[in-house]
Structures are given as C-alpha cells and as structure tokens.
Chains A and B, each alone.
Chain A
Amino acid sequence: MSALRRITVIVGYEWRRALAKKSVLTLIILAIAVQSLILALYSRFAVDTMFLTEEVKPFMWILGVLQGQGLFVQLIAIIIAGSTMSEEYEHGTADILLSKPITKVEYLSGKFLGGFSLLALVEALTTVVGVILASWFFGPQNGLQYVPLIFLAIVYSTLIFFCLSFMFSEVLRRSTLTMLIALVILVASSITRQLLVQLYLTTEEYLYFYLSRGIPTWGANYFPSLLMRELMTIPSTVFLNLINDPLIPIEARIRGVSEAILVREALQQAAIIVAVYAIIFILVAVYRLLKSDVTKKTA
C-alpha cells in the first residue's frame, strides 16, 4: 500500500472523528445561523440607509462570505484542529493507530489534511450560504466569478489558527488546554493588534505598524478581503470598510500613495505571514511527534 493511500485512510478516519463531535456540528450550525441573521437584519433595517445604498446591494455577498472570517471560522478551525492529535492520546487510541503499518509523518499528514479538508468544506458551505442569502435578500450580485478565489483565500487564511491549534494539540496532548490557549491567543492577538494600531496612529512610528501586521490575526482576518480589493472595485461604504484593513486609507494619506499599491503590498505581506506561521507551527508539531514517545492514555 502506498504512503498516499495510508494518508487517505487517515483523512477519512479524521472526518468521521471530527464530525462525530457535537461541538463541531453545533459551531457550524451556529456560524450559518449568525450569518443568516446578520444578512436578514441588514435587509430588514439597513436598506436605503447610509449603510446600505443601492450601489452596495450587489456586493452584499462579500459581507455574507467574509463576516464569519474574524471569529466563527477561526473558532471552528481551533476546535477541529485542537482535538485532532490530542484526543487520540487522551483516549489511548493513538496506540492503536500508531501500532499499525504507518509512519508517524504519514499519520500526522493524514490527521492534518483530514481536519483541514473538513474545515475547508465548512468554509465552502458558509461561502455558498453567504452568496445564496445575499442574492435572496438583496437581489442579483456582482463579481460572483471571484467567489472560488475568495473561498480559497479564506481557506488559506485559516491556516494560521488551524496550524497553531494543531501544533498545541500535538505538543500539549490535551484538547481542552489546547483550545483554551489557541482561543486566548486569538483574542489576545486581536487586542494587541488594536493597541499597536493605536500606537502607530498616535506616534506614526512605523515599528508599530509593522508589528501590527506581524500579529497572527492580521493575516488571518485580512488576507481574503485584501484579495477581494485586489480583484474587484467595491463601493466604499461604512460597513464594507469594516472588513477591510482600516490602516490602508490612513497609510495612503500619510505616504501619499494610492490605496491600490498598498493593498497589493499588504496582500503579499499577508500571504507570506500566513505561510510563515503555518510552516513554523507544522514543523514544531512534526518535531514533537517524531522526537517523543507516543503518550499513553491520559483521560
């Protein structure tokens, strides 16, 4: 049997394991419910106000697709990845799996790809639901040819917190502790970024600006919206600005360059930052698995 086939078997296993968890299913349902509720509220209360003008309506799918990016999708990523490795140690099933003819790297790859492909499926679902709801509530939508690319960008951007949680799952081998730490990092990272942005705005010191971009939530939150801005022209309104990086217009004013140039620059930086974090987190997980014993049942 080839290594690829062994990895595929573990991918299938991981899907079943993750979907059997009620918390994952609950969060998926909750994400879709919140997504529907927000669009419904906009359609009920914001139509023909300064938040939702006629020219914005054909772009409401952007809100439908990206609104979950900041919290729900990252949360689902943390929960799926947080138990991927650790739960097998806690239940003692790692012994059963790793005593089979499979290498540790194949096992870890299968676990990673299984969890991440499931996350991608959830993201595909929320993307499709977002587009359908936007069309339903606000009529025909523009720029839908970019939906697949935006979907891929969302998947890519979730790599940071998925890999972070996956790494802790292998390093700590405790699901609850892993999820708690990843969640604290998600929240702390958001708060720290806001502080750094404020410091930059107050002092205009570029160190704070670059530090704020190095924070994991920046890449995770803004990569898809930066790509969206690179691909299409979106009417600038209050609510659409919420999902864009607010520093870009300020930076454009300070540096006296066009926003388009800064968006491209930021997009490249975000892509690199996501990749760097993901690679580091995965390497730490691989190192831990290869260099340490398989922990006996811990729960």
Chain B
Amino acid sequence: MVSNLTKYYGNFKALDSVSFAVGKGWIYGYLGPNGAGKTTTIRTMLGLLKPDQGEVQIASVNPTKDPVQALQSVGYAPELPTLQTFFTGMQLLDFMGRMFGLNARDRKEGIKQLLNLVGLKEWGDKKIGKYSKGMVQRLSVALALINDPTVLIMDEPTIGMDPEATAHFRNLFTTLSKQGKTVFISSHLLDEVQRICTHVGMINKGRMVFDGPITQVLEAFTQQWVIEAELKEVTKTIVSALKKLDYVQDVKTEGNKLRIELKEKKDLRGEISSEIFKRKGVLLSLNLHKITLEDAYLRALKGGQ
C-alpha cells in the first residue's frame, strides 16, 4: 500500500501525494510517460528512496523502517538492469538466494528451475558479461523469483526481450498471479498492460491520474462508443434512418463506410444491423469500437478524468 507519497529531488516534486493499494493476486499495471515518477515510486516502495511525506507498506511493514521483514517476500527486477558481470548466471542466483537465507539444497533446485523457466538453461554457467541485453533481462526476472516472492515488483520487465520471450513472460506473470502472488508492473507497453493486468494505476507529472480495475479505466475515460459499418452501398435512406434513432448521436459517411456515434455506452450492433437490413442495405462488416487503454491513457494524461 502506498499512501500519500511525496518525494522531492531538490526543488523538483517527483511524486505528489501518490496513493494506491495493490491486493493479493492482482497484476497491477503502473503506467505513465517518461519522467512521470514510475521508477521513483518503485524505488521508494523498496526503501531505496526516502519519501518526504507519506508511507509505503508491504504486507503491513514499512520497508524503510524494517527492510529485512518487508523485503523478505519481495522480488524486484529493475528497469534495464546491470548485473554483476563477474558472476555467472548460476553464481548470481546462488548469491541472491543466500541473501534471502535459502539453504544450499533449495538454492540448487531453485536455480535449475528458474534458469529453465527464463530460457537460460544453457547459459547458467557463463559469465553475465557475455549475456545479451535480453538475456540479462531474463536473468533479472529469475533473480526476482529466487525467493519465491509473494510480491513481485517489475520495472519495465519486457524491455529488450524478443516477442517470443515477451509473450512467455506475460504468461508467466499471469500464472504467478493465479498462484496468489501480487505482481506490480511498470510498463510503457499499453498493449501488454491491457492484456495481462487486472488493475491499472496511471501517473503523470508525479500525480496519480487513475487507480482502479482495468475494466473501470476504460469505462472512466470512454466518452463515446462508435460502431463502424461497411456496406456494399451507402444510401441516403439508410443514413437518415440511422440518424433518427434515439440512441444515435451522429452518423458520418466515408465512401461505403459509416461511422455511427452512439449516445450510450452499449453494444448496439444488433439494433444497427436490423435497421440497415430494413433499408435493404447489404452489410459487409460491423465493428464496435470501445475505447482502448491507449485512448484512456492519453486522455488521462491530458487531464481527461
């Protein structure tokens, strides 16, 4: 739980009364443009930065006051990590396991499983200095999982990964959340967040502009639903009939396509298609365009809420 978090860098207010709570089993997507305060929030959550005001609690413990207890069940993968190049992947995992007090047997088994999980089985005994960026990123995720954490904090976890690995890690995060783990992801990839996150927080210029379930974010920023229809031929009769409907705000024509703007946030494709059939129209396609997370995000940043 982050409560009323304020952080200054000199005179610059990097975080301004940021508050949100993340529940067990959620995948919380933390969105914001560059310099919005995402990494500052994460680093404050981990006790790396001291807040000027407010408080962070992980499982009811403040990591600044008691990092040993607060961070025991936390896994963290930083943005574009630089790992200790003098270690091999296995050695670094082993060292991190030691930091969490894991015994030798658990470390050995955990390391093998994690290297398999992140696709670095063949690279475990190679020096990290020889890893590509994507491999370092994968190892960083493995490091975050070494203590079997209940809270996973990921800062841009899929940056630098190829599409196959990105998809693999998305599935991994979903699986982890289904196991009851809390996953906190800061990301620029709106599509990624929309696909896997259950909840979303949006931050801009250090201030939270939205915090809630992903279903609500789309709802909150939706101004209008639109149905796009492609017809064999658009006639004046069809257009004027559609315009007369109570739930239609406006109809715009572009070639053989119609853009029907609705007054209500409802899926009215059935009603629209029957109206077109009644007027002898031949429908080629009919799509409902709700707002995307990207639209919501852009509106939120513009102060659209």
Q: A residues near B, CB below 8 A?
A: 1, 5-6, 9, 12-13, 16-17, 20, 91-93, 95-104, 293-294, 296-297
**Contact digits for B57-68, partner A, Cβ 8 Å, 1 yes 0 no:** 000000000011
Flag if A102 contacts B68 (CB, 8 Å).
yes
Q: Which of B67, B81, B95 contacts A102 (CB 8 A)?
A: B67
User: Which residues of B lie under 8 Å from residue A92 when comparing CB positions?
Assistant: 78, 81-82
Q: Which of A1, A93, A100, A101 contacts B82 (CB 8 A)?
A: A93
Flag if A17 contacts B81 (CB, 8 Å).
no
**How long is the Cα–Cα vector from A297 to B50 in the complex, in angstroms?**
17
Confirm or deny: B87 has a beta carbon within 8 angstroms of a beta carbon on chain A.
Answer: yes
**Contact digits for B67-105, partner A, Cβ 8 Å, 1 yes 0 no:** 111111010101001111011000000011011110000
What's the least CB distance linking B42 to chain A, in Å?
9
| A20-B86, A100-B71, A101-B71 known; A95 vs B43 contact (CB < 8 Å) | yes
User: Which residues of B lie under 8 Å from residue A98 when comparing CB positions?
Assistant: 46-48, 67
Confirm or deny: B143 has a beta carbon within 8 angstroms of a beta carbon on chain A.
Answer: yes
User: Which residues of A lie under 8 Å from residue B241 when comparing CB positions?
Assistant: none
- Nearest A-chain residue to B45, judged by Cβ: A99
**How long is the Cα–Cα vector from A96 to B39 in the complex, in angstroms?**
14
What's the least CB distance linking B12 to chain A, in Å?
13
User: Which residues of A lie under 8 Å from residue B43 when comparing CB positions?
Assistant: 95, 293-294, 296
Flag if B72 contacts A101 (CB, 8 Å).
yes
Flag if B71 contacts A96 (CB, 8 Å).
no
| A93-B82, A102-B67 known; A9 vs B48 contact (CB < 8 Å) | no
What's the least CB distance linking A42 to chain B, in Å?
39
What's the least CB distance linking A14 to chain B, in Å?
11
Q: Which of A12, A17, A103 contacts B67 (CB 8 A)?
A: A103
Confirm or deny: B298 has a beta carbon within 8 angstroms of a beta carbon on chain A.
Answer: no
How many chain B residues have a CB neighbour from A under 8 Å?
29
**How long is the Cα–Cα vector from A5 to B102 in the complex, in angstroms?**
12
| A9-B98, A9-B99 known; A99 vs B82 contact (CB < 8 Å) | no
**How long is the Cα–Cα vector from A296 to B82 in the complex, in angstroms?**
11
| A16-B86, A17-B86, A93-B82 known; A102 vs B49 contact (CB < 8 Å) | no
Q: Which of A1, A6, A17, A104 contacts B84 (CB 8 A)?
A: A17
21 contacts between A and B (CB under 8 A): A1-B100, A1-B101, A13-B95, A17-B86, A91-B82, A95-B78, A96-B78, A98-B47, A99-B47, A99-B71, A99-B76, A100-B71, A100-B100, A101-B71, A101-B99, A102-B67, A102-B99, A104-B67, A293-B43, A294-B43, A296-B43
Flag if A101 contacts B68 (CB, 8 Å).
yes
User: Which residues of A lie under 8 Å from residue B48 when comparing CB positions?
Assistant: 95, 98-99, 293-294
Interface centre among A5, A17, A98, A100, by most chain B C-beta atoms within 10 angstroms, is: A100
**How long is the Cα–Cα vector from A16 to B95 in the complex, in angstroms?**
11
Flag if B83 contacts A96 (CB, 8 Å).
yes
User: Which residues of B lie under 8 Å from residue A103 when comparing CB positions?
Assistant: 67-68
**How long is the Cα–Cα vector from A288 to B81 in the complex, in angstroms?**
24
Flag if A99 contacts B74 (CB, 8 Å).
yes
**How long is the Cα–Cα vector from A17 to B69 in the complex, in angstroms?**
27
Flag if A6 contacts B76 (CB, 8 Å).
no
Closest 5 CB pairs of A and B: A1-B101, A20-B86, A294-B48, A99-B46, A100-B99
**How long is the Cα–Cα vector from A1 to B70 in the complex, in angstroms?**
14
What's the least CB distance linking A93 to chain B, in Å?
6
What's the least CB distance linking B27 to chain A, in Å?
20
User: Which residues of A lie under 8 Å from residue B86 when comparing CB positions?
Assistant: 16-17, 20
**How long is the Cα–Cα vector from A92 to B76 in the complex, in angstroms?**
14
